[in-house]
Chains A and B, each alone.
Chain A
Amino acid sequence: MNQPTLLRPPHPLEVRVLTRRFEYPRTEPVWLDEYLRTEGYQALRKALDLTPEALVDEVKKSCLRGRGGAGFPTGMKWSFVDRKSPKPKYIVVNADEGEPGTCKDRILMGFDPHRLIEGCLIAGRAIGSNRGWIYIRGEYRVYIDIMDRAIEEAYANGYLGDNVLGTGWSFHLSTHTGAGSYECGEETALLESLEGKRGNPRLKPPFPAVSGAFQCPTVVNNVETYSAVPDIILKGGEWYAGLGTPRNGGTRLVGLSGHLNTPGVYEVPLGMNLLTIVNELGGGVWKGRKLKAIIPGGSSSPVLKADECDIPADYDSFAKAGTMLGSGATVVLDDQTDMVRVLARLMSFYAHESCGWCIPCREGTAWLKKITQRLDSGVGASKDIDLIDQISNSMMGRTFCPLGDAAAMPAMAIARKFRDEIEAKIQSTQAFVPAPGTRPLVVL
């Protein structure tokens, strides 16, 4: 299972917890033997001696927040599951990594698959579950194969199965492949997909903790979230929390992409300055150019202009800056970037991925795509920029699931922050000028 090394040499600013086994230039995943040599499954052994309540408490103490995008406190999420429910409880791993800019889960699955399995086992123990699924996007067949092999190893060595490490507790885990849908990264759409249906999101409440996979109580967390759990259990929640800033515990993986000298996936403590991340870890903007903007948390997060980027990268600071940490995907754009083109590309993405369930998202994303593509081709008027803003406003907070917001937020941010640039593009490439006082019925 050789893969090109996607790893970077460790950077002094990194704090390697989840990635501590990722010595450069590793190409082979950490299989069971090596995992066991490096404290593997020690956390599980410890967890099996603890009560489920103690496990949840430890995770609560760690201030671990969901690494998929929404940043919901993990321990609290686990505590919502009624362990006494007569229904089976399920563990679901969201490995449907699809947010543009995000490429961290593949690294975790591709190089340290047993860490994820161990995280699932501990989470399963904490909520009284006997079954879990790792929902991996279909394009990641190579990582599905790696996870499958690791799961096989775990079964063969008693870490998974009807009698986990001789405790009599059974826990089963398997991979489940998606087949091409960004929307399935939304947890309830993912659960629908897991049940063999279209990835249309579900009505909430009930939340998955009450009625999730197959209508049973379910914890859905991101790969990175589960992967952080073994170290939290082994070294304590307080230790983990201490790595980050208050209320923003631990380290997190940032995927640096775009116009950088050394893009890659790095592990940093929460709260590191965004510019430090970009300039130090990312090696600064490529080709000696200047920074224009950063999309700081995956394509759905509102863009930050260069002068807004000097802030700590944690959930709360980002929220204060009007954006979000999201999936930790940081897309850096240099000063020669055509923001209209970026906007058009993003809008075409959301229009393509909208499931079509609700009206504002279905029609809004399609409309935004058409306007922005038209603007990108130089046809338009400055009132189109207002229209983008208004359409985004009409979508914000009114769609069935967060995808509508995910499309509206970047659209609104780019339209507002780069209005001059859009205007300039319209002016410079005016291809169609309607007669004064008239407007075209259809603009081709």
Chain B
Amino acid sequence: MTFSPELEARFAKMIGNYPPGRQKGALIPMLLYAQDEVGSMTPDLIQEVSRRLKVTPLEIEEVIGYYTMLAREPRGKHHIQVCTNVSCQARGGEELFAHACSRLGLHNKEKSADGQFSIEEVECMGACSWAPAIQVNYDFYYDMTPEKFDKLIDSLRQMQ
């Protein structure tokens, strides 16, 4: 399995960041960055990372089951994460999530049929002072309202 040259360069550097013989340290970063490119924790990806870092597939499974950002199934092209934790809840995060679900016609952790959108209710993403906040993939959107959300979805749709 090969990755893009940029990712390969990143991995090459990354492995050097851990003490000799302890390259397993790179496991979680490697999985997450690889997922950005591959889409999800495919068997090929697991095998490849297992080979590169000399960790067993079981060790990788343990980690995949633990970290919520590591996805077994590919998410939508725009993975919309709505925080409903206490700070966001206080400023309408839950209503925003309900609105987002109905706007996209999706339930929590579902993906649209065209693969464009997926939605997930997430825990605090550290944007409490600018609540309610959402994240689309890695991009934050602050002080959200249902209206702003709709505009955002429209603009994401137009990006296609």
Contacts and interface: CB of A to CB of B under 8 A. Distances in A.
Q: Do chains A and B touch in the complex (CB under 8 A)?
A: yes
Interface of A: 4, 6, 88, 97-103, 105-106, 131, 133, 137-142, 172, 174, 176-182, 193-199, 214, 216, 255-259, 263-265, 295, 299, 329, 331-333, 337, 341-342, 345-346, 349, 352-353, 355
Contacts of B18: 214
B114 to A, nearest CB: 25
Contacts of B125: 139
Contact of B90 (A178, A195, A264, A333): A333
Contacts of B63: 179, 196-198
Interface in B88-112: 89-91, 94
Task: Name, among B17, B66, B130, the residue most crowded by chain A CB atoms within 10 Å (CB to CB).
Answer: B66
B66 A101 contact: no
Interface in B8-49: 14, 17-19, 22, 24-29, 31-33
Given A101-B128, A258-B91, 4 more contacts: A97-B126, A176-B29, A179-B67, A195-B22
B66 to A, nearest CB: 4
A346 B24 contact: no
Contacts of B142: 4, 6
Contact of A177 (B32, B81, B91, B139): B32
Contact of A199 (B27, B53, B66): B66
Interface in B57-83: 59, 62-63, 65-70, 81
Interface of B: 14, 17-19, 22, 24-29, 31-33, 53, 55, 59, 62-63, 65-70, 81, 84-87, 89-91, 94, 123-131, 135, 138-140, 142
Given A179-B67, A196-B26, A355-B66, A265 B129 contact: yes
B60 to A, nearest CB: 9
Contacts, number: 162
Contact of A345 (B33, B70, B84): B84
B19 A214 contact: yes
A195 B24 contact: yes
Contacts of B126: 97-98, 102-103, 105-106, 137, 139-140
A256 B129 contact: yes
Contact of B28 (A178, A264, A353): A178
A56 to B, nearest CB: 24
A99 B59 CA distance: 27
B128 A196 contact: no
B37 to A, nearest CB: 13
B129 A263 contact: yes
A332 B87 CA distance: 8
Task: Name, among A100, A133, A265, the residue most crowded by chain B CB atoms within 10 Å (CB to CB).
Answer: A100
B27 A196 contact: yes
A179 B86 contact: no
A131 B90 CA distance: 41
B52 to A, nearest CB: 12
A352 B66 CA distance: 11
A258 B87 contact: yes
A177 to B, nearest CB: 5
Given A331-B90, A341-B89, A346-B86, A179 B69 contact: yes
A282 to B, nearest CB: 10
A283 to B, nearest CB: 12
A140 to B, nearest CB: 7
A214 B91 CA distance: 42
B82 to A, nearest CB: 13
A100 B85 contact: yes
25 contacts: A4-B142, A100-B85, A131-B19, A139-B69, A139-B135, A142-B140, A174-B14, A177-B29, A179-B67, A179-B70, A182-B123, A196-B25, A196-B53, A196-B63, A199-B67, A257-B90, A257-B91, A257-B129, A258-B87, A258-B91, A263-B128, A331-B87, A331-B90, A342-B90, A345-B94
A349 B85 contact: yes
Given A139-B135, A199-B66, A263-B131, A331 B86 contact: yes
Given A176-B29, A195-B24, A353-B123, A101 B62 contact: no
Contacts of A345: 84-86, 89, 94
A52 to B, nearest CB: 22
Contacts of B19: 88, 131, 214, 216
Nearest to B35: A179
A138 B69 contact: yes
B66 A257 contact: no
Given A194-B25, A196-B24, A198-B62, A180 B69 contact: yes
B61 to A, nearest CB: 10
A101 B123 contact: no
Contact of A138 (B32, B85, B124, B129): B32
